[in-house]
C-alpha cells in the first residue's frame, strides 16, 4: 500500500496530469482504500505543494496546476468511495467565504463527507454572505461548513454567523469552520460550533453531530 500512496503523492508534487490518472487507476485496481488514497496519497502531496509555495519554491501557477491535478485524480477515485455498507447520512452546505478563492481543502472535506453518506451542497468559492444564508434556509442542512485561507477573509465567517442569527436560522444548524489561519480561539470568538484542524477531523465532528441527532 505504501508504494501506491507514495506514487500518488509524488504525482501531485510533480504536477503530472498524465500520471495521476494512471496511478489513481492502478491504486483502485490494487484494492487500495479510496479514502487512504485521497488523504495519505494525493492530499499529502497537496500539503507538500503548499509548503513549497510558502517557501517560495513553487509559485501561484504551480499551486493552481497542482489543484487541477488533484481534481483529475479525484475523478478516478470518486466512484470507488461509495462501497458496501454505504448509508445515507445528513446534509451539509459548504462554502469558501466572500473574497477567498481557495477550494482544495473544502473540496477534500466535501469528498470525504460524501464518502460517509452525507449529501453535500458545495456553493463554491468567493460566496456572498447572503447566498450562504439563502442556501441554509432553502436546504435546511444539519451542518454549515465555512472555509477561509486568507486572514483578511476570516471575518466574513463571523458575518455569516451574525446573518444566520438575524434570519432566525442559527439555532437550526451547526457551524464548523476551517482553513490554515483559523484558530480555535477565533472560532469561539465568532460563535462557531467547532474549528476543524484538518479534513478528517472535520468529517469526524460532522459524524459525531449526526450520531447525537439520531439518538
Asked if 2-80 and 91-214 have one fold, the answer is no
Q: For the segment 30-66, what is each residue's pLDDT rounded down to a tens digit?
A: 999 998 898 899 988 988 887 888 789 998 788 878 8
Angle between helical axes of 129-139 and 155-166 (0-180°, round to 10): 50
pLDDT at 88: 57
Q: What is the CATH number of domain 91-214?
A: 3.40.50.280
Domain boundaries, the chain: 2-80, 91-214
Q: For the segment 166-212, what is each residue's pLDDT rounded down to a tens digit?
A: 999 999 999 999 998 999 999 999 999 999 988 878 988 998 998 88
Query: Minimum mean pLDDT among 5-9, 51-55, 78-82, 119-123: which range?
Result: 78-82
Task: Using alpha carbons, select from 51, 78, 147 the residue that is nearest to residue 106.
Answer: 147
Fold of 2-80: 1.10.1240
Mean pLDDT for 59-78 is 86
Planar angle of CA 83, 75, 67, nearest 5 degrees: 130
Strand, coil or helix: 55: coil
Question: What length does the chain have?
Answer: 215
Amino acid at each position: 500500500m505504501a508504494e501506491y500512496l507514495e506514487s500518488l503523492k509524488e504525482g501531485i508534487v510533480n504536477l503530472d496530469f498524465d500520471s495521476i490518472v494512471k496511478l489513481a487507476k492502478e491504486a483502485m485496481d490494487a484494492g487500495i482504500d479510496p479514502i487512504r488514497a485521497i488523504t495519505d496519497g494525493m492530499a499529502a502531496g497537496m500539503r507538500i505543494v503548499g509548503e513549497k509555495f510558502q517557501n517560495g519554491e513553487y509559485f501561484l501557477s504551480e499551486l493552481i496546476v497542482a489543484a487541477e491535478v488533484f481534481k483529475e485524480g479525484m475523478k478516478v477515485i470518486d466512484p470507488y468511495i461509495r462501497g458496501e455498507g454505504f448509508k445515507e447520512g445528513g446534509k451539509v452546505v459548504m462554502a469558501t467565504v466572500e473574497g477567498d478563492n481557495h477550494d482544495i481543502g473544502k473540496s477534500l472535506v466535501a469528498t470525504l463527507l460524501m464518502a460517509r453518506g452525507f449529501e453535500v451542497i458545495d456553493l463554491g468559492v468567493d460566496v456572498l454572505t447572503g447566498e450562504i444564508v439563502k442556501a441554509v434556509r432553502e436546504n435546511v442542512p444539519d451542518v454549515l461548513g465555512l472555509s477561509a485561507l486568507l486572514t483578511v477573509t476570516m471575518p466574513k465567517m463571523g458575518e455569516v454567523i451574525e446573518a444566520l442569527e438575524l434570519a432566525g436560522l442559527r439555532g437550526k444548524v451547526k457551524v464548523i469552520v476551517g482553513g490554515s489561519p483559523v484558530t480555535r480561539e477565533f472560532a469561539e470568538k465568532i460563535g462557531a460550533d467547532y474549528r476543524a484542524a484538518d479534513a478528517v477531523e472535520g468529517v469526524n465532528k460532522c459524524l459525531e453531530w449526526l450520531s447525537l441527532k439520531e439518538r
